[in-house]
Structure 1
Amino acid sequence: MLGRHLCRMRNAPGLLVITLAAPVTLLLFFGYVFGSAVTVPGGDYREYLVPGLFVSIAANGIVTGMITTAQDARHGVMDRFRTLPMSRAAVPLGQAAAEALIAAVGLVPLLLAGLAVGWRVHSGPAEAAGGFALLLLFRLATAWIGQYLGLLVGDEQAAGQLSSTTFVLSLVSNTYVPTAGMPTWLRAVAEWNPISAVVSATRELFGNAGAGPAAAPGSAWPIAHPVIAAVGWSLLLMAVFAPLTVRRYARRTG
Protein backbone atom coordinates (compact mmCIF):
# COMPACT_ATOMS: atom_id res chain seq x y z
CA MET A 1 0.00 0.00 0.00
CA LEU A 2 2.89 2.36 0.73
CA GLY A 3 4.41 1.70 -2.69
CA ARG A 4 1.07 2.13 -4.40
CA HIS A 5 0.49 5.57 -2.94
CA LEU A 6 4.02 6.70 -3.79
CA CYS A 7 3.42 5.65 -7.41
CA ARG A 8 0.11 7.52 -7.40
CA MET A 9 1.78 10.74 -6.33
CA ARG A 10 4.44 10.33 -8.99
CA ASN A 11 1.72 10.08 -11.61
CA ALA A 12 -0.35 12.95 -10.18
CA PRO A 13 1.48 16.13 -11.27
CA GLY A 14 -1.18 18.40 -9.79
CA LEU A 15 -0.69 17.08 -6.28
CA LEU A 16 3.08 17.17 -6.73
CA VAL A 17 2.88 20.85 -7.69
CA ILE A 18 0.83 21.57 -4.57
CA THR A 19 3.39 19.76 -2.44
CA LEU A 20 6.59 21.04 -4.02
CA ALA A 21 5.98 24.37 -5.73
CA ALA A 22 3.19 26.09 -3.80
CA PRO A 23 5.18 26.71 -0.56
CA VAL A 24 8.12 28.15 -2.52
CA THR A 25 5.73 30.47 -4.36
CA LEU A 26 4.22 31.58 -1.06
CA LEU A 27 7.70 32.22 0.33
CA LEU A 28 8.58 34.52 -2.55
CA PHE A 29 5.20 36.24 -2.50
CA PHE A 30 4.86 36.85 1.24
CA GLY A 31 8.58 37.24 1.85
CA TYR A 32 9.10 40.03 -0.67
CA VAL A 33 5.66 41.59 -1.12
CA PHE A 34 4.76 41.82 2.59
CA GLY A 35 8.20 41.38 4.12
CA SER A 36 8.88 45.09 4.50
CA ALA A 37 5.41 45.85 5.87
CA VAL A 38 5.14 43.22 8.63
CA THR A 39 6.93 43.69 11.95
CA VAL A 40 7.83 40.49 13.78
CA PRO A 41 9.74 39.67 16.99
CA GLY A 42 13.37 39.35 15.94
CA GLY A 43 13.03 41.70 12.98
CA ASP A 44 13.57 39.30 10.05
CA TYR A 45 10.21 38.47 8.43
CA ARG A 46 11.56 35.84 6.03
CA GLU A 47 13.22 33.99 8.88
CA TYR A 48 9.89 34.18 10.71
CA LEU A 49 7.97 32.99 7.61
CA VAL A 50 9.97 29.93 6.53
CA PRO A 51 9.11 27.71 9.54
CA GLY A 52 5.46 28.60 9.04
CA LEU A 53 5.65 27.43 5.43
CA PHE A 54 7.33 24.21 6.58
CA VAL A 55 4.24 23.61 8.69
CA SER A 56 1.98 24.44 5.74
CA ILE A 57 3.55 21.48 3.92
CA ALA A 58 2.82 19.29 6.92
CA ALA A 59 -0.77 20.56 7.14
CA ASN A 60 -1.24 19.88 3.44
CA GLY A 61 -1.73 16.22 4.34
CA ILE A 62 -5.38 17.12 4.83
CA VAL A 63 -5.70 18.12 1.17
CA THR A 64 -3.78 15.28 -0.45
CA GLY A 65 -5.21 12.66 1.90
CA MET A 66 -8.75 13.82 1.28
CA ILE A 67 -8.47 13.96 -2.52
CA THR A 68 -6.70 10.63 -3.02
CA THR A 69 -8.99 8.82 -0.58
CA ALA A 70 -12.09 10.30 -2.22
CA GLN A 71 -10.81 9.13 -5.61
CA ASP A 72 -10.39 5.58 -4.36
CA ALA A 73 -13.82 5.62 -2.76
CA ARG A 74 -15.48 7.06 -5.86
CA HIS A 75 -13.98 4.57 -8.30
CA GLY A 76 -14.54 1.48 -6.18
CA VAL A 77 -10.86 0.81 -5.50
CA MET A 78 -11.48 0.46 -1.77
CA ASP A 79 -14.29 -2.02 -2.40
CA ARG A 80 -11.81 -4.24 -4.26
CA PHE A 81 -9.20 -3.85 -1.52
CA ARG A 82 -11.71 -5.01 1.08
CA THR A 83 -12.08 -8.31 -0.75
CA LEU A 84 -8.37 -9.06 -0.33
CA PRO A 85 -6.97 -11.04 2.64
CA MET A 86 -5.23 -8.16 4.41
CA SER A 87 -5.72 -6.01 7.46
CA ARG A 88 -8.32 -3.25 7.24
CA ALA A 89 -5.66 -0.87 8.58
CA ALA A 90 -3.21 -1.64 5.76
CA VAL A 91 -4.68 0.74 3.17
CA PRO A 92 -5.02 3.90 5.33
CA LEU A 93 -1.75 3.17 7.16
CA GLY A 94 0.10 2.79 3.85
CA GLN A 95 -1.28 6.10 2.63
CA ALA A 96 -0.39 7.88 5.87
CA ALA A 97 3.19 6.57 5.69
CA ALA A 98 3.42 7.66 2.04
CA GLU A 99 2.21 11.13 3.01
CA ALA A 100 5.05 11.43 5.52
CA LEU A 101 7.64 10.45 2.91
CA ILE A 102 6.15 12.84 0.37
CA ALA A 103 6.27 15.64 2.93
CA ALA A 104 9.95 14.90 3.59
CA VAL A 105 10.64 15.30 -0.14
CA GLY A 106 8.47 18.40 -0.32
CA LEU A 107 10.49 20.10 2.42
CA VAL A 108 13.66 20.00 0.33
CA PRO A 109 12.77 22.67 -2.30
CA LEU A 110 11.42 24.99 0.39
CA LEU A 111 14.51 24.39 2.54
CA LEU A 112 16.78 25.35 -0.36
CA ALA A 113 14.65 28.38 -1.22
CA GLY A 114 14.68 29.44 2.42
CA LEU A 115 18.45 29.23 2.57
CA ALA A 116 18.60 31.30 -0.62
CA VAL A 117 16.52 34.13 0.88
CA GLY A 118 18.44 34.22 4.15
CA TRP A 119 16.77 31.71 6.45
CA ARG A 120 19.16 29.87 8.77
CA VAL A 121 19.03 27.36 11.60
CA HIS A 122 20.44 28.99 14.74
CA SER A 123 20.04 26.04 17.09
CA GLY A 124 22.03 22.85 17.51
CA PRO A 125 21.77 19.71 15.34
CA ALA A 126 19.59 17.89 17.87
CA GLU A 127 17.05 20.73 18.05
CA ALA A 128 17.00 21.06 14.25
CA ALA A 129 16.46 17.32 13.82
CA GLY A 130 13.66 17.54 16.37
CA GLY A 131 12.05 20.32 14.35
CA PHE A 132 11.97 18.24 11.16
CA ALA A 133 10.76 15.19 13.07
CA LEU A 134 7.92 17.27 14.49
CA LEU A 135 6.94 18.37 10.99
CA LEU A 136 6.70 14.75 9.82
CA LEU A 137 4.72 13.79 12.92
CA PHE A 138 2.22 16.56 12.20
CA ARG A 139 2.00 15.46 8.56
CA LEU A 140 1.05 11.97 9.76
CA ALA A 141 -1.69 13.48 11.90
CA THR A 142 -3.10 15.60 9.08
CA ALA A 143 -2.95 12.65 6.67
CA TRP A 144 -5.31 10.72 8.93
CA ILE A 145 -7.65 13.72 9.06
CA GLY A 146 -7.60 14.00 5.27
CA GLN A 147 -8.33 10.33 4.77
CA TYR A 148 -11.29 10.44 7.13
CA LEU A 149 -12.72 13.49 5.37
CA GLY A 150 -12.15 11.81 2.00
CA LEU A 151 -14.14 8.78 3.13
CA LEU A 152 -16.93 11.05 4.35
CA VAL A 153 -17.06 13.03 1.10
CA GLY A 154 -16.56 10.06 -1.23
CA ASP A 155 -16.16 12.19 -4.37
CA GLU A 156 -12.94 13.72 -5.67
CA GLN A 157 -14.62 16.80 -7.15
CA ALA A 158 -16.31 17.65 -3.86
CA ALA A 159 -13.03 16.93 -2.06
CA GLY A 160 -11.19 19.29 -4.39
CA GLN A 161 -13.66 22.06 -3.70
CA LEU A 162 -13.52 21.45 0.04
CA SER A 163 -9.72 21.37 0.05
CA SER A 164 -9.55 25.04 -0.98
CA THR A 165 -11.10 25.97 2.36
CA THR A 166 -8.27 24.33 4.31
CA PHE A 167 -6.03 27.30 3.45
CA VAL A 168 -8.09 29.25 5.99
CA LEU A 169 -6.62 27.07 8.75
CA SER A 170 -3.17 28.49 8.02
CA LEU A 171 -4.48 32.03 7.71
CA VAL A 172 -6.09 31.87 11.17
CA SER A 173 -2.78 31.05 12.83
CA ASN A 174 0.67 32.54 13.34
CA THR A 175 1.96 31.12 10.06
CA TYR A 176 2.16 34.43 8.20
CA VAL A 177 1.73 37.14 10.85
CA PRO A 178 2.10 37.34 14.65
CA THR A 179 -1.08 36.80 16.61
CA ALA A 180 -0.35 39.69 19.00
CA GLY A 181 -1.89 42.24 16.61
CA MET A 182 -5.12 40.30 16.10
CA PRO A 183 -8.44 41.18 17.82
CA THR A 184 -8.76 39.42 21.17
CA TRP A 185 -11.30 36.82 20.05
CA LEU A 186 -9.42 36.04 16.84
CA ARG A 187 -6.11 35.83 18.69
CA ALA A 188 -7.60 33.23 21.05
CA VAL A 189 -8.83 31.16 18.09
CA ALA A 190 -5.48 31.43 16.31
CA GLU A 191 -3.39 30.52 19.33
CA TRP A 192 -5.45 27.43 20.08
CA ASN A 193 -5.20 26.38 16.45
CA PRO A 194 -2.92 23.28 16.36
CA ILE A 195 -1.07 24.78 13.39
CA SER A 196 0.02 27.74 15.54
CA ALA A 197 1.52 25.44 18.15
CA VAL A 198 3.49 23.51 15.52
CA VAL A 199 4.68 26.73 13.87
CA SER A 200 5.84 28.16 17.21
CA ALA A 201 7.54 24.88 18.07
CA THR A 202 9.49 24.76 14.81
CA ARG A 203 10.56 28.37 15.21
CA GLU A 204 11.80 27.56 18.70
CA LEU A 205 13.60 24.40 17.63
CA PHE A 206 15.25 26.15 14.67
CA GLY A 207 16.05 29.24 16.77
CA ASN A 208 14.26 31.59 14.38
CA ALA A 209 12.56 34.97 14.76
CA GLY A 210 9.33 34.98 16.74
CA ALA A 211 10.29 31.99 18.89
CA GLY A 212 9.54 31.58 22.56
CA PRO A 213 6.85 32.89 24.90
CA ALA A 214 8.78 36.10 25.47
CA ALA A 215 8.18 37.01 21.82
CA ALA A 216 4.41 37.25 22.43
CA PRO A 217 3.48 38.35 25.97
CA GLY A 218 0.10 37.15 27.15
CA SER A 219 0.00 34.21 24.73
CA ALA A 220 -2.22 31.20 25.28
CA TRP A 221 -0.74 28.05 26.81
CA PRO A 222 0.02 26.28 23.47
CA ILE A 223 2.10 29.25 22.33
CA ALA A 224 3.86 29.60 25.68
CA HIS A 225 4.75 25.86 25.62
CA PRO A 226 4.87 25.19 21.88
CA VAL A 227 6.92 21.98 21.69
CA ILE A 228 4.82 20.14 24.26
CA ALA A 229 1.62 21.48 22.70
CA ALA A 230 2.67 20.56 19.16
CA VAL A 231 3.54 16.99 20.08
CA GLY A 232 0.36 16.72 22.14
CA TRP A 233 -1.86 18.05 19.35
CA SER A 234 -0.29 15.67 16.81
CA LEU A 235 -0.69 12.60 19.00
CA LEU A 236 -4.24 13.58 19.97
CA LEU A 237 -5.30 14.08 16.35
CA MET A 238 -3.85 10.71 15.36
CA ALA A 239 -5.46 9.01 18.36
CA VAL A 240 -8.84 10.38 17.28
CA PHE A 241 -8.74 10.16 13.49
CA ALA A 242 -6.73 6.95 12.91
CA PRO A 243 -9.36 4.69 14.55
CA LEU A 244 -12.19 6.67 12.92
CA THR A 245 -10.57 6.29 9.50
CA VAL A 246 -9.96 2.55 9.84
CA ARG A 247 -13.50 1.98 11.10
CA ARG A 248 -15.01 4.09 8.32
CA TYR A 249 -12.93 2.29 5.70
CA ALA A 250 -13.91 -1.15 7.02
CA ARG A 251 -17.62 -0.39 7.14
CA ARG A 252 -18.06 1.69 4.00
CA THR A 253 -20.17 0.05 1.31
CA GLY A 254 -19.48 0.54 -2.36
Structure 2
Amino acid sequence: MTTPSTRHPRPHADVLRDTATLTGRILRHWRGRPVSILLGLLFPVLMVVMFGYIFGGAMAAPGGKYMDFLIPGMLAMTMLFGLESMVVSVTNDTAKGITERIRSMPITTTAVLAGRSAADILNSVVGLAIMIATGLLVGWAPNRSLLQALASVGLLLWLRFAFTWVGIYLGLLLKTPESAVAVQVLVWPVGFLSSAFVSPDTMPAWLDAIATWNPLSATATAIRELFGNPSWSAGGWANQHSIMLALAWPAVLTVIFLPLAVRQYRALAA
Protein backbone atom coordinates (compact mmCIF):
# COMPACT_ATOMS: atom_id res chain seq x y z
CA MET A 1 0.00 0.00 0.00
CA THR A 2 1.33 3.44 -0.90
CA THR A 3 2.15 5.63 2.06
CA PRO A 4 0.82 9.15 1.61
CA SER A 5 3.40 11.90 1.66
CA THR A 6 3.73 14.10 4.72
CA ARG A 7 1.10 16.81 4.61
CA HIS A 8 1.86 20.42 5.44
CA PRO A 9 -0.59 23.30 5.74
CA ARG A 10 -1.15 24.82 2.32
CA PRO A 11 -2.32 28.32 1.34
CA HIS A 12 -6.04 28.68 0.68
CA ALA A 13 -5.30 29.50 -2.97
CA ASP A 14 -3.57 26.12 -3.37
CA VAL A 15 -6.49 24.30 -1.77
CA LEU A 16 -8.92 26.02 -4.11
CA ARG A 17 -6.72 25.21 -7.10
CA ASP A 18 -6.48 21.57 -6.03
CA THR A 19 -10.24 21.43 -5.57
CA ALA A 20 -10.79 22.85 -9.06
CA THR A 21 -8.27 20.39 -10.52
CA LEU A 22 -9.93 17.36 -8.92
CA THR A 23 -13.38 18.61 -9.89
CA GLY A 24 -12.15 18.87 -13.46
CA ARG A 25 -10.76 15.31 -13.29
CA ILE A 26 -14.19 13.96 -12.39
CA LEU A 27 -15.91 16.02 -15.08
CA ARG A 28 -13.44 14.75 -17.71
CA HIS A 29 -14.06 11.21 -16.52
CA TRP A 30 -17.79 11.73 -17.02
CA ARG A 31 -17.15 13.10 -20.50
CA GLY A 32 -15.52 9.76 -21.34
CA ARG A 33 -18.71 7.84 -20.53
CA PRO A 34 -21.54 10.05 -21.81
CA VAL A 35 -24.06 7.22 -22.22
CA SER A 36 -24.12 6.26 -18.53
CA ILE A 37 -24.26 9.91 -17.46
CA LEU A 38 -27.11 10.60 -19.89
CA LEU A 39 -29.05 7.57 -18.66
CA GLY A 40 -28.61 8.75 -15.08
CA LEU A 41 -29.95 12.20 -15.97
CA LEU A 42 -32.91 10.81 -17.93
CA PHE A 43 -33.96 8.15 -15.44
CA PRO A 44 -36.01 10.63 -13.32
CA VAL A 45 -37.74 11.72 -16.53
CA LEU A 46 -38.83 8.12 -17.11
CA MET A 47 -40.19 8.03 -13.55
CA VAL A 48 -42.26 11.14 -14.25
CA VAL A 49 -43.75 9.43 -17.29
CA MET A 50 -44.42 6.25 -15.34
CA PHE A 51 -45.96 7.82 -12.25
CA GLY A 52 -47.57 10.79 -13.97
CA TYR A 53 -49.18 9.01 -16.91
CA ILE A 54 -49.33 5.31 -16.08
CA PHE A 55 -50.27 5.54 -12.39
CA GLY A 56 -51.36 9.19 -12.28
CA GLY A 57 -54.94 8.47 -13.24
CA ALA A 58 -55.42 6.47 -10.05
CA MET A 59 -53.75 9.08 -7.83
CA ALA A 60 -55.67 11.76 -5.98
CA ALA A 61 -53.67 14.90 -5.31
CA PRO A 62 -54.81 17.15 -2.48
CA GLY A 63 -56.08 20.41 -3.94
CA GLY A 64 -54.98 20.03 -7.57
CA LYS A 65 -53.69 17.89 -10.42
CA TYR A 66 -51.48 14.95 -9.53
CA MET A 67 -48.77 16.12 -11.93
CA ASP A 68 -48.51 19.38 -9.97
CA PHE A 69 -48.06 17.32 -6.81
CA LEU A 70 -45.64 14.86 -8.43
CA ILE A 71 -43.08 17.15 -10.06
CA PRO A 72 -41.80 18.79 -6.84
CA GLY A 73 -41.58 15.33 -5.29
CA MET A 74 -39.57 14.08 -8.25
CA LEU A 75 -37.26 17.08 -8.03
CA ALA A 76 -36.51 16.06 -4.45
CA MET A 77 -36.12 12.41 -5.47
CA THR A 78 -33.57 13.45 -8.10
CA MET A 79 -31.45 14.88 -5.29
CA LEU A 80 -31.61 11.54 -3.46
CA PHE A 81 -30.42 9.64 -6.52
CA GLY A 82 -27.12 11.49 -6.17
CA LEU A 83 -26.37 9.47 -3.04
CA GLU A 84 -26.16 6.13 -4.83
CA SER A 85 -24.22 7.54 -7.77
CA MET A 86 -21.69 9.04 -5.35
CA VAL A 87 -21.26 5.73 -3.51
CA VAL A 88 -20.65 3.89 -6.79
CA SER A 89 -18.16 6.53 -7.96
CA VAL A 90 -16.16 6.49 -4.73
CA THR A 91 -16.03 2.70 -4.49
CA ASN A 92 -14.96 2.41 -8.13
CA ASP A 93 -12.06 4.81 -7.52
CA THR A 94 -11.04 2.86 -4.43
CA ALA A 95 -11.21 -0.51 -6.20
CA LYS A 96 -9.10 0.78 -9.13
CA GLY A 97 -6.45 2.26 -6.86
CA ILE A 98 -7.19 5.83 -7.95
CA THR A 99 -7.99 6.95 -4.42
CA GLU A 100 -4.67 5.56 -3.14
CA ARG A 101 -2.72 7.33 -5.90
CA ILE A 102 -4.40 10.62 -5.09
CA ARG A 103 -3.60 10.11 -1.40
CA SER A 104 0.10 9.81 -2.29
CA MET A 105 0.08 13.28 -3.84
CA PRO A 106 0.63 16.55 -1.93
CA ILE A 107 -3.10 17.35 -2.01
CA THR A 108 -5.16 18.19 1.05
CA THR A 109 -8.04 16.00 2.17
CA THR A 110 -10.26 19.07 1.92
CA ALA A 111 -9.50 19.47 -1.78
CA VAL A 112 -10.02 15.79 -2.60
CA LEU A 113 -13.43 15.53 -0.97
CA ALA A 114 -14.55 19.04 -1.91
CA GLY A 115 -13.70 18.28 -5.54
CA ARG A 116 -16.06 15.30 -5.47
CA SER A 117 -18.79 17.36 -3.85
CA ALA A 118 -18.39 20.25 -6.30
CA ALA A 119 -18.56 17.94 -9.33
CA ASP A 120 -21.68 16.29 -7.96
CA ILE A 121 -23.38 19.65 -7.39
CA LEU A 122 -22.63 20.63 -11.00
CA ASN A 123 -24.14 17.36 -12.17
CA SER A 124 -27.22 17.95 -10.02
CA VAL A 125 -27.71 21.42 -11.51
CA VAL A 126 -27.91 19.81 -14.96
CA GLY A 127 -30.27 17.16 -13.62
CA LEU A 128 -32.51 19.80 -12.06
CA ALA A 129 -32.62 21.78 -15.29
CA ILE A 130 -33.70 18.67 -17.21
CA MET A 131 -36.35 17.81 -14.62
CA ILE A 132 -37.75 21.36 -14.51
CA ALA A 133 -37.91 21.42 -18.31
CA THR A 134 -39.68 18.04 -18.23
CA GLY A 135 -42.17 19.36 -15.69
CA LEU A 136 -42.96 22.38 -17.83
CA LEU A 137 -43.45 20.15 -20.88
CA VAL A 138 -45.99 17.95 -19.07
CA GLY A 139 -48.01 20.92 -17.87
CA TRP A 140 -46.54 21.63 -14.44
CA ALA A 141 -45.86 25.27 -13.60
CA PRO A 142 -44.70 27.24 -10.56
CA ASN A 143 -47.42 29.59 -9.34
CA ARG A 144 -45.31 31.90 -7.22
CA SER A 145 -42.59 34.47 -7.83
CA LEU A 146 -39.22 33.88 -9.49
CA LEU A 147 -37.52 34.52 -6.16
CA GLN A 148 -39.52 31.72 -4.51
CA ALA A 149 -38.72 29.41 -7.41
CA LEU A 150 -35.01 30.16 -6.97
CA ALA A 151 -35.37 29.53 -3.23
CA SER A 152 -36.83 26.11 -4.10
CA VAL A 153 -33.81 25.31 -6.26
CA GLY A 154 -31.57 26.42 -3.41
CA LEU A 155 -33.30 24.04 -0.99
CA LEU A 156 -32.95 21.19 -3.49
CA LEU A 157 -29.22 21.80 -3.96
CA TRP A 158 -28.79 22.10 -0.19
CA LEU A 159 -30.36 18.64 0.19
CA ARG A 160 -28.13 17.26 -2.58
CA PHE A 161 -25.06 18.72 -0.86
CA ALA A 162 -25.95 16.84 2.33
CA PHE A 163 -26.62 13.58 0.46
CA THR A 164 -23.27 14.01 -1.29
CA TRP A 165 -21.43 13.75 2.02
CA VAL A 166 -23.51 10.76 3.06
CA GLY A 167 -22.52 9.13 -0.24
CA ILE A 168 -18.82 9.99 0.09
CA TYR A 169 -18.68 8.53 3.59
CA LEU A 170 -20.51 5.32 2.65
CA GLY A 171 -18.37 4.90 -0.47
CA LEU A 172 -15.15 5.22 1.54
CA LEU A 173 -16.54 2.89 4.20
CA LEU A 174 -17.69 0.16 1.82
CA LYS A 175 -14.65 0.34 -0.52
CA THR A 176 -15.89 -2.16 -3.16
CA PRO A 177 -18.46 -1.65 -5.95
CA GLU A 178 -20.12 -4.95 -5.01
CA SER A 179 -20.93 -3.73 -1.50
CA ALA A 180 -22.32 -0.48 -2.93
CA VAL A 181 -25.31 -2.46 -4.21
CA ALA A 182 -26.64 -2.53 -0.64
CA VAL A 183 -26.84 1.26 -0.63
CA GLN A 184 -28.64 1.28 -3.98
CA VAL A 185 -31.22 -1.11 -2.54
CA LEU A 186 -31.74 1.04 0.56
CA VAL A 187 -32.14 4.32 -1.38
CA TRP A 188 -35.48 3.22 -2.83
CA PRO A 189 -37.29 2.64 0.48
CA VAL A 190 -36.05 6.02 1.71
CA GLY A 191 -37.39 7.66 -1.44
CA PHE A 192 -40.76 5.96 -1.52
CA LEU A 193 -41.33 6.24 2.23
CA SER A 194 -41.82 9.99 1.89
CA SER A 195 -44.26 12.54 0.52
CA ALA A 196 -42.60 12.49 -2.91
CA PHE A 197 -45.36 10.46 -4.57
CA VAL A 198 -48.29 10.35 -2.15
CA SER A 199 -49.50 12.15 0.93
CA PRO A 200 -48.20 10.49 4.14
CA ASP A 201 -51.67 10.68 5.71
CA THR A 202 -52.81 7.98 3.27
CA MET A 203 -50.38 5.54 4.92
CA PRO A 204 -50.80 3.49 8.13
CA ALA A 205 -50.09 5.57 11.23
CA TRP A 206 -46.58 4.23 11.86
CA LEU A 207 -45.54 4.72 8.23
CA ASP A 208 -47.18 8.15 8.24
CA ALA A 209 -44.90 9.21 11.11
CA ILE A 210 -41.76 7.96 9.35
CA ALA A 211 -42.70 9.52 6.01
CA THR A 212 -43.67 12.81 7.63
CA TRP A 213 -40.25 13.25 9.26
CA ASN A 214 -38.25 11.98 6.29
CA PRO A 215 -35.75 14.68 5.17
CA LEU A 216 -36.93 14.10 1.61
CA SER A 217 -40.51 14.89 2.67
CA ALA A 218 -39.39 18.13 4.30
CA THR A 219 -37.79 19.39 1.10
CA ALA A 220 -40.60 18.12 -1.16
CA THR A 221 -43.24 19.81 1.03
CA ALA A 222 -41.22 23.02 1.30
CA ILE A 223 -40.75 23.42 -2.44
CA ARG A 224 -44.42 22.63 -3.09
CA GLU A 225 -45.21 25.56 -0.82
CA LEU A 226 -42.67 27.83 -2.52
CA PHE A 227 -43.79 26.78 -6.02
CA GLY A 228 -47.45 27.22 -5.05
CA ASN A 229 -48.26 23.59 -5.88
CA PRO A 230 -50.70 21.32 -4.03
CA SER A 231 -49.28 19.66 -0.94
CA TRP A 232 -50.50 16.99 1.45
CA SER A 233 -53.47 18.13 3.44
CA ALA A 234 -52.74 16.90 6.95
CA GLY A 235 -51.76 19.52 9.49
CA GLY A 236 -49.11 19.02 12.10
CA TRP A 237 -45.87 20.70 13.00
CA ALA A 238 -43.74 19.13 10.26
CA ASN A 239 -46.10 20.21 7.49
CA GLN A 240 -46.51 23.73 8.87
CA HIS A 241 -42.74 24.22 9.31
CA SER A 242 -41.53 22.40 6.21
CA ILE A 243 -39.19 25.19 5.04
CA MET A 244 -37.44 25.26 8.40
CA LEU A 245 -37.09 21.47 8.32
CA ALA A 246 -35.82 21.61 4.73
CA LEU A 247 -33.03 23.87 5.98
CA ALA A 248 -32.37 21.93 9.19
CA TRP A 249 -32.29 18.32 7.95
CA PRO A 250 -29.46 18.81 5.41
CA ALA A 251 -27.53 20.81 8.00
CA VAL A 252 -27.79 17.92 10.46
CA LEU A 253 -26.76 15.36 7.84
CA THR A 254 -23.79 17.51 6.78
CA VAL A 255 -22.60 18.08 10.34
CA ILE A 256 -22.69 14.32 10.92
CA PHE A 257 -21.35 12.90 7.66
CA LEU A 258 -18.83 15.51 6.46
CA PRO A 259 -16.50 14.92 9.46
CA LEU A 260 -17.09 11.16 9.17
CA ALA A 261 -16.09 11.28 5.48
CA VAL A 262 -12.91 13.24 6.26
CA ARG A 263 -11.97 10.83 9.06
CA GLN A 264 -12.67 7.77 6.89
CA TYR A 265 -10.56 9.16 4.06
CA ARG A 266 -7.63 9.81 6.40
CA ALA A 267 -7.98 6.31 7.84
CA LEU A 268 -7.71 4.52 4.48
CA ALA A 269 -3.97 3.96 4.82
CA ALA A 270 -4.20 2.82 8.44
**TM-score normalised to the size of structure 2?**
0.88
Q: Give the aligned partner of residue 142 of structure 1.
A: 163
In 1: Cα distance, 2:209 partner to 2:243 partner: 18
Give the Cα–Cα distance (whole angstroms) in 2 for the partners of residues 162 and 11 of structure 1.
Answer: 25
One-letter amino acid matched to 1:34: F
Q: Distance in 1 between matches of 2:262 and 2:221?
A: 31
Flag structure 2 segments of 5+ consecutive residues without an equivalent.
Answer: 1-21
Q: 1:253 is matched with which residue?
A: 269
Are the structure 2 counterparts of residues 18 and 172 from structure 1 closer, same or farther at C-alpha, using a change threshold of 3 Å?
farther
Shift of 1:253: 2.3
Residue 227 (str. 1) matches residue 243 (str. 2): yes
1:216 aligns with 2:233: yes
Match of 1:87 in 2: 108
- Which string of whole-angstrom CA distances, capped at 9 and with x for unpartnered residues, describes residues 163-208 of structure 1? 1331111100000111111100000010111000011011111111
Please say which of residues 34-43 and 92-101 is displaced more in the overlay.
Answer: 34-43
Q: Is the 8 A contact 1:128 1:206 kept in 2?
A: yes
Compute the displacement of 1:18 (Å).
Answer: 4.8
Q: In angstroms, what is the RMSD of aligned CA positions? A: 1.5
Distance, in Å, in 2 between the alignment partners of 1:18 and 1:223 is 34
Tell me whether 1:74 sits opposite 2:95 in the alignment: yes
Cα offset for 1:69?
0.5
Alignment partners' CA distance in 1, 2:141 and 2:133: 10
Please list the CA deviations of residues 129-162 of structure 1 after superposition, one character each: whole Å capped at 9, or x if unmatched: 0000111111111011011111111011221353
Counterpart residue number, 2:179: 158
Alignment of 1:101-180 (within 5 A): 101-180=122-201
CA drift of 1:43 comes to 2.2
Q: How far apart in 1 are the matches of 2:159 and 2:32?
A: 25
* 83-92 or 22-31: bigger deviation: 83-92
Offset at residue 217 of structure 1 (A):
2.5
> What CA distance in whole angstroms lies between the structure 2 residues aligned with 1:171 and 1:189?
11
1:36 aligns to 2:57 (yes or no)? yes
Q: Distance in 1 between matches of 2:181 and 2:112?
A: 21
Q: Distance in 1 between matches of 2:87 and 2:182?
A: 11
Structure with max Cα Rg: 2
User: 1:85-131 CA distances to partner (integer Å, 9 max, x unpaired)?
Assistant: 12112111111111111000011222111111110010101110000
Distance 1:57 1:201, change over 3 A: same
Change (3 A) 1:152 1:14: farther
Aligned position for 2:4:
none
C-alpha distance after superposition, 1:6-40 (max 9, x if no partner): 22223334652453111100001100112121111
Distance 1:29 1:199 in 2: 19
Cα distance change of structure 1 residues 96 and 15 upon mapping to structure 2, 3 Å threshold: farther
Per-residue deviation at 1:223?
2.4
Match of 1:10 among 23, 26, 31: 31
CA 1:223/1:15 → structure 2, altered by over 3 Å: closer, same or farther? Answer: farther
Residue 16 of structure 2: aligned partner: none
Cα-to-partner distance string for 1:192-243 (whole Å, 9 max, x where unaligned): 1100001101111111111xxxx42343x33221111011001111111111
Normalised to the residue count of structure 1, the TM-score between the two structures is: 0.93
Task: Provide closer, same or farther for how the CA distance between residues 4 and 163 of structure 1 changes in structure 2, counting only shifts above 3 A.
Answer: same
Match of 2:258 among 231, 242, 251: 242
Q: What percentage of residue pairs aligned between the two structures are identical? A: 35
